[in-house]
Amino acid sequence: MTLRKFAGLGALLSIVMPSLAMAADEVAAPVLNSGDTAWMLTSTALVLFMTIPGLALFYGGMVRSKNILSVMMQCFAITGLISILWVIYGYSIAFDTTGMEQGVVNFNSFFGGMGKAFLAGVTPSSLTGPAALFPEAVFITFQMTFAIITPALIVGAFAERMKFSAMLIFMAIWFTLVYAPIAHMVWSGNGGLMWDWGVLDFAGGTVVHINAGVAGLIACLVLGKRKGFPTTPMAPHNLGYTLMGAAMLWVGWFGFNAGSAAAANGTAGMAMLVTQIATAAAALGWMFAEWVTHGKPSALGIASGVVAGLVAITPAAGTVGPMGALVIGLAAGVVCFFCATTLKRKLGYDDSLDAFGVHGIGGILGAILTGVFAAPALGGFGTVTDIGAQVWIQVKGVGFTVIYTAIVTFIILKVLDAVMGLRVTEEEESVGLDLAQHNERGYNL
Protein backbone atom coordinates (compact mmCIF):
# COMPACT_ATOMS: atom_id res chain seq x y z
CA MET A 1 0.00 0.00 0.00
CA THR A 2 2.81 2.41 0.86
CA LEU A 3 4.49 1.91 -2.50
CA ARG A 4 1.18 2.35 -4.28
CA LYS A 5 0.55 5.59 -2.38
CA PHE A 6 3.97 6.95 -3.36
CA ALA A 7 3.41 5.87 -6.94
CA GLY A 8 0.02 7.59 -6.95
CA LEU A 9 1.54 10.73 -5.42
CA GLY A 10 4.27 10.69 -8.05
CA ALA A 11 1.71 10.43 -10.81
CA LEU A 12 -0.29 13.27 -9.31
CA LEU A 13 2.80 15.48 -9.02
CA SER A 14 3.77 14.70 -12.61
CA ILE A 15 0.43 16.16 -13.65
CA VAL A 16 0.24 19.09 -11.21
CA MET A 17 3.83 20.39 -11.29
CA PRO A 18 3.92 21.30 -15.01
CA SER A 19 0.64 23.13 -14.52
CA LEU A 20 2.05 25.02 -11.54
CA ALA A 21 5.20 25.85 -13.53
CA MET A 22 3.10 27.14 -16.41
CA ALA A 23 1.05 29.24 -13.98
CA ALA A 24 4.25 30.68 -12.46
CA ASP A 25 5.52 31.55 -15.93
CA GLU A 26 2.25 33.29 -16.68
CA VAL A 27 2.52 35.29 -13.44
CA ALA A 28 6.15 36.21 -14.13
CA ALA A 29 5.48 37.33 -17.71
CA PRO A 30 5.97 41.11 -18.05
CA VAL A 31 2.75 43.06 -18.30
CA LEU A 32 2.51 46.57 -19.73
CA ASN A 33 1.74 49.22 -17.12
CA SER A 34 -0.55 51.80 -18.66
CA GLY A 35 0.31 54.46 -16.05
CA ASP A 36 4.05 54.19 -16.67
CA THR A 37 3.43 54.12 -20.41
CA ALA A 38 1.29 57.25 -20.29
CA TRP A 39 3.92 59.12 -18.25
CA MET A 40 6.74 58.10 -20.59
CA LEU A 41 4.72 59.13 -23.65
CA THR A 42 4.11 62.52 -22.01
CA SER A 43 7.76 62.90 -20.99
CA THR A 44 8.93 62.11 -24.50
CA ALA A 45 6.74 64.84 -25.96
CA LEU A 46 7.98 67.30 -23.30
CA VAL A 47 11.64 66.63 -24.10
CA LEU A 48 11.08 67.09 -27.84
CA PHE A 49 9.25 70.33 -26.96
CA MET A 50 12.49 71.50 -25.33
CA THR A 51 14.30 71.58 -28.70
CA ILE A 52 11.48 72.58 -31.00
CA PRO A 53 10.27 75.16 -30.22
CA GLY A 54 11.98 75.78 -26.84
CA LEU A 55 15.68 75.88 -27.69
CA ALA A 56 14.99 77.30 -31.16
CA LEU A 57 13.27 80.32 -29.58
CA PHE A 58 15.75 80.62 -26.71
CA TYR A 59 18.72 80.76 -29.06
CA GLY A 60 16.86 82.56 -31.85
CA GLY A 61 16.08 85.54 -29.69
CA MET A 62 19.69 85.94 -28.58
CA VAL A 63 21.27 86.29 -32.01
CA ARG A 64 21.08 89.35 -34.25
CA SER A 65 17.97 89.68 -36.43
CA LYS A 66 19.89 88.69 -39.58
CA ASN A 67 20.65 85.26 -38.09
CA ILE A 68 17.43 84.18 -36.37
CA LEU A 69 16.33 81.80 -39.13
CA SER A 70 19.76 80.18 -39.34
CA VAL A 71 19.67 79.21 -35.67
CA MET A 72 16.09 77.95 -35.84
CA MET A 73 16.86 76.09 -39.07
CA GLN A 74 19.80 74.38 -37.40
CA CYS A 75 17.60 73.21 -34.51
CA PHE A 76 14.98 71.81 -36.89
CA ALA A 77 17.54 70.18 -39.20
CA ILE A 78 19.32 68.55 -36.26
CA THR A 79 15.99 67.20 -35.03
CA GLY A 80 15.40 65.48 -38.36
CA LEU A 81 18.97 64.29 -38.85
CA ILE A 82 19.50 62.80 -35.40
CA SER A 83 16.08 61.12 -35.41
CA ILE A 84 17.06 59.11 -38.49
CA LEU A 85 20.61 58.34 -37.34
CA TRP A 86 19.23 57.20 -33.97
CA VAL A 87 16.97 54.69 -35.69
CA ILE A 88 19.66 53.41 -38.06
CA TYR A 89 22.46 52.87 -35.54
CA GLY A 90 22.48 55.39 -32.67
CA TYR A 91 20.14 53.50 -30.37
CA SER A 92 22.16 50.35 -30.90
CA ILE A 93 25.50 52.04 -30.17
CA ALA A 94 24.09 53.57 -26.99
CA PHE A 95 22.07 50.69 -25.56
CA ASP A 96 23.04 47.35 -27.12
CA THR A 97 24.75 45.40 -24.32
CA THR A 98 26.24 42.61 -26.41
CA GLY A 99 29.70 41.61 -25.16
CA MET A 100 29.40 43.61 -21.91
CA GLU A 101 30.30 42.14 -18.54
CA GLN A 102 30.41 43.91 -15.19
CA GLY A 103 33.95 44.74 -14.13
CA VAL A 104 35.41 43.84 -17.52
CA VAL A 105 36.74 46.66 -19.72
CA ASN A 106 36.60 45.86 -23.42
CA PHE A 107 35.51 47.53 -26.66
CA ASN A 108 31.86 47.17 -25.70
CA SER A 109 32.47 49.13 -22.50
CA PHE A 110 32.87 52.16 -24.77
CA PHE A 111 30.79 51.35 -27.81
CA GLY A 112 27.60 49.33 -28.07
CA GLY A 113 27.08 46.56 -30.59
CA MET A 114 24.94 46.60 -33.72
CA GLY A 115 22.32 44.13 -32.54
CA LYS A 116 19.67 46.86 -32.46
CA ALA A 117 20.67 48.55 -35.73
CA PHE A 118 17.63 49.59 -37.77
CA LEU A 119 15.68 48.73 -34.58
CA ALA A 120 15.94 45.02 -35.30
CA GLY A 121 13.56 42.96 -33.20
CA VAL A 122 11.52 45.91 -31.94
CA THR A 123 7.78 45.20 -32.14
CA PRO A 124 4.64 46.74 -30.60
CA SER A 125 4.82 44.06 -27.89
CA SER A 126 8.49 44.70 -26.98
CA LEU A 127 8.63 45.96 -23.39
CA THR A 128 11.38 47.62 -21.38
CA GLY A 129 11.89 49.74 -18.25
CA PRO A 130 12.90 48.98 -14.65
CA ALA A 131 10.41 46.13 -14.54
CA ALA A 132 9.70 45.82 -18.31
CA LEU A 133 6.46 47.76 -17.98
CA PHE A 134 6.26 50.08 -20.99
CA PRO A 135 6.91 49.69 -24.74
CA GLU A 136 10.49 49.68 -25.94
CA ALA A 137 9.32 51.90 -28.78
CA VAL A 138 8.54 54.60 -26.21
CA PHE A 139 11.96 54.22 -24.57
CA ILE A 140 13.62 54.48 -28.00
CA THR A 141 11.77 57.70 -28.76
CA PHE A 142 12.39 59.11 -25.28
CA GLN A 143 16.13 58.56 -25.60
CA MET A 144 16.00 59.88 -29.16
CA THR A 145 14.84 63.26 -27.84
CA PHE A 146 17.93 63.40 -25.58
CA ALA A 147 20.11 62.59 -28.58
CA ILE A 148 18.42 65.43 -30.49
CA ILE A 149 18.82 68.21 -27.94
CA THR A 150 22.47 67.49 -27.12
CA PRO A 151 23.99 68.47 -30.49
CA ALA A 152 21.41 71.25 -30.81
CA LEU A 153 22.84 72.82 -27.65
CA ILE A 154 26.24 73.10 -29.36
CA VAL A 155 24.71 75.48 -31.92
CA GLY A 156 24.77 78.24 -29.30
CA ALA A 157 28.56 78.26 -29.19
CA PHE A 158 29.20 78.81 -32.91
CA ALA A 159 26.03 80.72 -33.82
CA GLU A 160 26.26 83.31 -36.62
CA ARG A 161 29.36 81.95 -38.36
CA MET A 162 29.27 78.24 -39.33
CA LYS A 163 28.26 76.96 -42.76
CA PHE A 164 25.01 75.00 -42.72
CA SER A 165 26.49 72.13 -44.76
CA ALA A 166 29.50 71.83 -42.44
CA MET A 167 27.19 71.97 -39.43
CA LEU A 168 25.13 69.01 -40.68
CA ILE A 169 28.16 66.82 -41.35
CA PHE A 170 29.80 67.80 -38.06
CA MET A 171 26.66 66.93 -36.10
CA ALA A 172 26.31 63.54 -37.80
CA ILE A 173 29.91 62.57 -37.05
CA TRP A 174 29.87 64.06 -33.54
CA PHE A 175 26.69 62.19 -32.69
CA THR A 176 28.27 58.94 -33.88
CA LEU A 177 31.68 59.27 -32.23
CA VAL A 178 30.88 61.32 -29.13
CA TYR A 179 27.25 61.40 -28.03
CA ALA A 180 26.27 57.77 -28.57
CA PRO A 181 29.47 56.32 -27.00
CA ILE A 182 29.25 58.60 -23.93
CA ALA A 183 25.59 57.65 -23.49
CA HIS A 184 26.62 54.00 -23.71
CA MET A 185 29.43 54.37 -21.15
CA VAL A 186 27.14 56.09 -18.62
CA TRP A 187 23.70 54.53 -19.11
CA SER A 188 23.96 51.12 -20.77
CA GLY A 189 24.31 49.14 -17.54
CA ASN A 190 26.79 46.57 -16.20
CA GLY A 191 29.95 46.61 -18.29
CA GLY A 192 29.63 50.24 -19.35
CA LEU A 193 32.81 52.10 -18.44
CA MET A 194 31.39 54.91 -16.29
CA TRP A 195 28.46 52.80 -15.14
CA ASP A 196 30.91 50.37 -13.58
CA TRP A 197 32.83 53.25 -12.03
CA GLY A 198 29.62 54.17 -10.20
CA VAL A 199 29.13 57.59 -11.82
CA LEU A 200 25.76 59.08 -10.85
CA ASP A 201 24.07 60.76 -13.81
CA PHE A 202 20.33 60.50 -13.51
CA ALA A 203 19.27 62.45 -16.59
CA GLY A 204 22.32 63.66 -18.49
CA GLY A 205 24.77 65.89 -16.65
CA THR A 206 27.70 64.20 -18.37
CA VAL A 207 25.91 62.67 -21.36
CA VAL A 208 24.11 65.84 -22.42
CA HIS A 209 25.39 69.03 -20.81
CA ILE A 210 29.10 68.55 -20.18
CA ASN A 211 29.27 66.77 -23.52
CA ALA A 212 27.58 69.60 -25.43
CA GLY A 213 29.21 72.40 -23.45
CA VAL A 214 32.76 71.16 -24.00
CA ALA A 215 32.07 70.46 -27.68
CA GLY A 216 30.72 73.99 -27.98
CA LEU A 217 33.84 75.48 -26.42
CA ILE A 218 36.09 73.56 -28.81
CA ALA A 219 33.91 74.57 -31.77
CA CYS A 220 34.01 78.28 -30.98
CA LEU A 221 37.78 78.12 -30.50
CA VAL A 222 38.37 76.28 -33.78
CA LEU A 223 36.07 78.55 -35.80
CA GLY A 224 37.38 81.73 -34.21
CA LYS A 225 35.56 84.85 -33.13
CA ARG A 226 32.68 86.48 -34.98
CA LYS A 227 33.61 89.40 -37.16
CA GLY A 228 33.83 92.46 -34.89
CA PHE A 229 33.80 90.55 -31.61
CA PRO A 230 34.13 91.89 -28.90
CA THR A 231 34.19 95.55 -29.98
CA THR A 232 31.06 95.54 -32.18
CA PRO A 233 27.74 95.49 -30.27
CA MET A 234 25.97 92.15 -30.79
CA ALA A 235 22.96 92.51 -28.54
CA PRO A 236 20.12 89.97 -28.64
CA HIS A 237 17.51 91.16 -31.13
CA ASN A 238 14.39 89.75 -29.42
CA LEU A 239 14.57 88.89 -25.74
CA GLY A 240 10.86 88.14 -25.77
CA TYR A 241 11.64 85.04 -27.84
CA THR A 242 14.42 84.13 -25.43
CA LEU A 243 12.17 84.38 -22.39
CA MET A 244 9.47 82.31 -24.10
CA GLY A 245 12.08 79.73 -25.04
CA ALA A 246 13.41 79.62 -21.47
CA ALA A 247 9.85 79.11 -20.19
CA MET A 248 9.35 76.23 -22.62
CA LEU A 249 12.64 74.69 -21.53
CA TRP A 250 11.60 74.98 -17.88
CA VAL A 251 8.30 73.18 -18.52
CA GLY A 252 9.82 70.61 -20.87
CA TRP A 253 12.58 69.79 -18.40
CA PHE A 254 10.09 68.00 -16.17
CA GLY A 255 9.92 65.37 -18.90
CA PHE A 256 13.71 65.40 -19.11
CA ASN A 257 14.29 64.83 -15.39
CA ALA A 258 11.13 63.25 -13.98
CA GLY A 259 10.81 61.14 -17.13
CA SER A 260 14.23 59.66 -16.48
CA ALA A 261 12.72 57.69 -13.60
CA ALA A 262 11.24 55.56 -16.42
CA ALA A 263 8.08 55.11 -14.33
CA ALA A 264 5.27 57.08 -12.74
CA ASN A 265 6.58 56.62 -9.22
CA GLY A 266 8.02 58.36 -6.18
CA THR A 267 11.40 58.93 -7.84
CA ALA A 268 9.69 60.78 -10.69
CA GLY A 269 7.75 62.87 -8.19
CA MET A 270 10.85 63.85 -6.23
CA ALA A 271 12.75 64.55 -9.47
CA MET A 272 10.00 66.96 -10.46
CA LEU A 273 10.11 68.72 -7.09
CA VAL A 274 13.89 69.14 -6.95
CA THR A 275 13.95 70.33 -10.56
CA GLN A 276 11.54 73.14 -9.70
CA ILE A 277 13.45 74.09 -6.54
CA ALA A 278 16.89 74.16 -8.19
CA THR A 279 15.66 76.10 -11.21
CA ALA A 280 13.95 78.75 -9.11
CA ALA A 281 17.04 79.08 -6.89
CA ALA A 282 19.37 79.41 -9.88
CA ALA A 283 17.16 82.04 -11.52
CA LEU A 284 17.30 84.13 -8.34
CA GLY A 285 21.00 83.41 -7.81
CA TRP A 286 21.92 84.68 -11.29
CA MET A 287 19.55 87.65 -10.98
CA PHE A 288 20.95 88.86 -7.66
CA ALA A 289 24.57 88.22 -8.70
CA GLU A 290 24.00 90.34 -11.79
CA TRP A 291 22.12 92.98 -9.79
CA VAL A 292 24.99 93.35 -7.34
CA THR A 293 27.67 93.24 -10.02
CA HIS A 294 26.12 95.36 -12.77
CA GLY A 295 23.58 97.44 -10.88
CA LYS A 296 20.47 96.08 -12.60
CA PRO A 297 18.89 92.66 -13.09
CA SER A 298 18.23 91.71 -16.72
CA ALA A 299 15.69 89.54 -18.49
CA LEU A 300 18.49 87.74 -20.33
CA GLY A 301 20.16 87.10 -16.98
CA ILE A 302 17.17 85.48 -15.32
CA ALA A 303 16.49 83.38 -18.43
CA SER A 304 20.10 82.20 -18.39
CA GLY A 305 19.84 81.47 -14.67
CA VAL A 306 16.79 79.31 -15.29
CA VAL A 307 18.70 77.18 -17.78
CA ALA A 308 21.76 77.00 -15.49
CA GLY A 309 19.60 75.59 -12.69
CA LEU A 310 17.93 73.09 -14.99
CA VAL A 311 21.33 71.93 -16.21
CA ALA A 312 22.90 71.59 -12.76
CA ILE A 313 20.06 69.58 -11.22
CA THR A 314 19.86 67.16 -14.16
CA PRO A 315 22.47 64.61 -12.97
CA ALA A 316 21.21 64.85 -9.39
CA ALA A 317 17.44 64.79 -9.91
CA GLY A 318 16.98 61.15 -8.97
CA THR A 319 19.08 61.14 -5.83
CA VAL A 320 19.12 64.53 -4.07
CA GLY A 321 16.56 65.96 -1.69
CA PRO A 322 14.90 69.39 -1.67
CA MET A 323 17.58 71.17 0.37
CA GLY A 324 20.35 69.69 -1.73
CA ALA A 325 18.53 70.96 -4.80
CA LEU A 326 18.34 74.43 -3.27
CA VAL A 327 22.11 74.54 -2.75
CA ILE A 328 22.85 73.15 -6.22
CA GLY A 329 20.54 75.69 -7.83
CA LEU A 330 21.96 78.70 -5.99
CA ALA A 331 25.51 77.60 -6.73
CA ALA A 332 24.72 77.09 -10.41
CA GLY A 333 23.12 80.52 -10.77
CA VAL A 334 26.05 82.38 -9.24
CA VAL A 335 28.90 80.29 -10.70
CA CYS A 336 27.47 80.19 -14.23
CA PHE A 337 26.87 83.96 -14.13
CA PHE A 338 30.52 84.68 -13.44
CA CYS A 339 31.75 82.07 -15.95
CA ALA A 340 29.49 83.38 -18.72
CA THR A 341 30.50 86.99 -18.11
CA THR A 342 33.75 87.63 -16.21
CA LEU A 343 35.59 84.42 -17.15
CA LYS A 344 34.59 84.64 -20.82
CA ARG A 345 35.77 88.24 -21.06
CA LYS A 346 39.09 87.46 -19.40
CA LEU A 347 39.81 84.44 -21.61
CA GLY A 348 38.48 86.15 -24.74
CA TYR A 349 36.71 83.21 -26.41
CA ASP A 350 33.54 83.86 -28.43
CA ASP A 351 30.97 81.41 -27.11
CA SER A 352 28.12 83.23 -28.85
CA LEU A 353 25.22 82.19 -26.64
CA ASP A 354 27.13 80.81 -23.64
CA ALA A 355 26.74 77.13 -24.39
CA PHE A 356 29.88 76.35 -22.42
CA GLY A 357 29.32 78.93 -19.69
CA VAL A 358 25.86 77.56 -18.90
CA HIS A 359 25.80 73.92 -20.04
CA GLY A 360 29.44 73.01 -19.65
CA ILE A 361 30.04 74.73 -16.32
CA GLY A 362 26.55 74.00 -14.99
CA GLY A 363 26.88 70.34 -15.94
CA ILE A 364 30.29 70.02 -14.27
CA LEU A 365 29.10 71.74 -11.10
CA GLY A 366 25.93 69.65 -10.93
CA ALA A 367 27.75 66.38 -11.57
CA ILE A 368 30.25 66.99 -8.77
CA LEU A 369 27.66 68.23 -6.27
CA THR A 370 25.55 65.14 -7.00
CA GLY A 371 28.26 63.16 -5.22
CA VAL A 372 27.74 65.35 -2.15
CA PHE A 373 23.98 65.73 -1.90
CA ALA A 374 22.98 62.22 -2.98
CA ALA A 375 24.14 61.08 0.46
CA PRO A 376 21.27 60.31 2.87
CA ALA A 377 23.28 62.09 5.57
CA LEU A 378 22.65 65.34 3.64
CA GLY A 379 19.02 64.66 2.81
CA GLY A 380 19.63 62.67 -0.37
CA PHE A 381 17.99 59.46 -1.51
CA GLY A 382 21.00 57.73 -3.04
CA THR A 383 23.16 54.97 -1.64
CA VAL A 384 26.18 57.19 -1.01
CA THR A 385 27.81 56.41 2.34
CA ASP A 386 31.26 57.87 1.62
CA ILE A 387 30.83 61.36 0.19
CA GLY A 388 34.52 61.83 -0.54
CA ALA A 389 34.73 58.57 -2.49
CA GLN A 390 31.61 59.39 -4.53
CA VAL A 391 32.82 62.92 -5.28
CA TRP A 392 36.05 61.42 -6.61
CA ILE A 393 34.03 59.07 -8.83
CA GLN A 394 32.03 62.04 -10.11
CA VAL A 395 35.22 64.04 -10.77
CA LYS A 396 36.67 61.08 -12.63
CA GLY A 397 33.55 60.83 -14.79
CA VAL A 398 33.61 64.57 -15.49
CA GLY A 399 37.30 64.48 -16.33
CA PHE A 400 36.95 61.56 -18.72
CA THR A 401 33.99 63.18 -20.49
CA VAL A 402 35.77 66.53 -20.84
CA ILE A 403 38.96 64.99 -22.24
CA TYR A 404 37.25 62.50 -24.56
CA THR A 405 34.78 65.05 -25.92
CA ALA A 406 37.39 67.77 -26.36
CA ILE A 407 39.85 65.58 -28.24
CA VAL A 408 37.36 63.88 -30.55
CA THR A 409 35.47 67.12 -31.26
CA PHE A 410 38.71 68.92 -32.11
CA ILE A 411 39.76 66.18 -34.53
CA ILE A 412 36.36 66.14 -36.26
CA LEU A 413 36.35 69.92 -36.70
CA LYS A 414 39.92 70.15 -37.96
CA VAL A 415 39.37 67.39 -40.53
CA LEU A 416 36.14 68.99 -41.76
CA ASP A 417 37.81 72.40 -41.93
CA ALA A 418 40.57 70.95 -44.11
CA VAL A 419 38.13 69.09 -46.36
CA MET A 420 35.28 71.56 -46.85
CA GLY A 421 35.79 74.57 -44.60
CA LEU A 422 33.72 75.32 -41.53
CA ARG A 423 33.09 79.02 -41.70
CA VAL A 424 31.11 81.30 -43.97
CA THR A 425 32.94 84.10 -45.75
CA GLU A 426 33.28 87.56 -44.18
CA GLU A 427 30.80 88.92 -46.70
CA GLU A 428 28.24 86.23 -45.85
CA GLU A 429 28.75 86.85 -42.16
CA SER A 430 28.14 90.58 -42.67
CA VAL A 431 24.98 89.97 -44.70
CA GLY A 432 23.77 87.40 -42.18
CA LEU A 433 23.33 83.67 -42.40
CA ASP A 434 19.60 83.91 -43.04
CA LEU A 435 20.18 85.36 -46.50
CA ALA A 436 23.61 83.90 -47.17
CA GLN A 437 22.75 80.29 -46.26
CA HIS A 438 18.98 80.06 -46.71
CA ASN A 439 17.99 82.96 -48.96
CA GLU A 440 15.34 84.09 -46.49
CA ARG A 441 14.79 86.84 -43.97
CA GLY A 442 13.34 86.47 -40.50
CA TYR A 443 11.70 89.88 -40.86
CA ASN A 444 10.47 91.48 -44.07
CA LEU A 445 9.68 95.15 -43.38
Concatenating the DSSP letter of every residue in 44-102 gives: HHHHHHIIIIIIHHHHHHHS-GGGHHHHHHHHHHHHHHHHHHIIIIIHHHHH--TT--T
Pair 113, 206: CB distance under 8 Å: no
What is d(CA 92, CA 180) in angstroms, rounded to the nearest whole number? 9
3-state secondary structure of 135: strand
Calculate the average pLDDT of the chain: 92
Write down the pLDDT at residue 17: 46
Q: Is the peptide bond between 181 and the residue preceding it cis, with omega within 30 degrees of 0?
A: no
pLDDT digits (tens, 9 = 90+) for 134-173: 999 999 999 999 999 999 999 999 999 999 999 999 999 9
pLDDT digits (tens, 9 = 90+) for 49-81: 999 999 999 999 999 999 999 999 999 999 999
34-434: what fold? Ammonium transporter fold (1.10.3430)
Q: Could you give the C-alpha distances from 87 to 97, 120, 144, 170, in angstroms and in order?
A: 17, 10, 8, 18
Other beta carbons within 10 angstroms of residue 240's beta carbon come to 11
pLDDT digits (tens, 9 = 90+) for 101-131: 999 999 999 999 999 999 999 999 888 987 7
Per-residue buried b or exposed e for 386-424, using 16+ beta carbons within 10 Å of the residue's own CB: ebeebbebbeebbebbbebbbebbeebbeebeeeeebbb
Residue range 414-425: mean pLDDT, rounded: 97
Write down the pLDDT at residue 132: 67
What is d(CA 172, CA 167) in angstroms, rounded to the nearest whole number? 9
Radius of gyration of the chain (CA): 24
pLDDT digits (tens, 9 = 90+) for 240-298: 999 999 999 999 999 999 999 999 999 999 999 999 999 999 999 999 999 999 999 99
Residue range 9-16: mean pLDDT, rounded: 43
Confidence of residue 185 (pLDDT cuts 50, 70, 90): very high
Beta bridge partners of 110: none
Q: Is the pLDDT of residue 11 over 70?
A: no
- Hey, where are the domains in the chain? 34-434
For residue 387, how many C-alpha atoms fall within 13 Å in the half-sphere facing its CB? 13
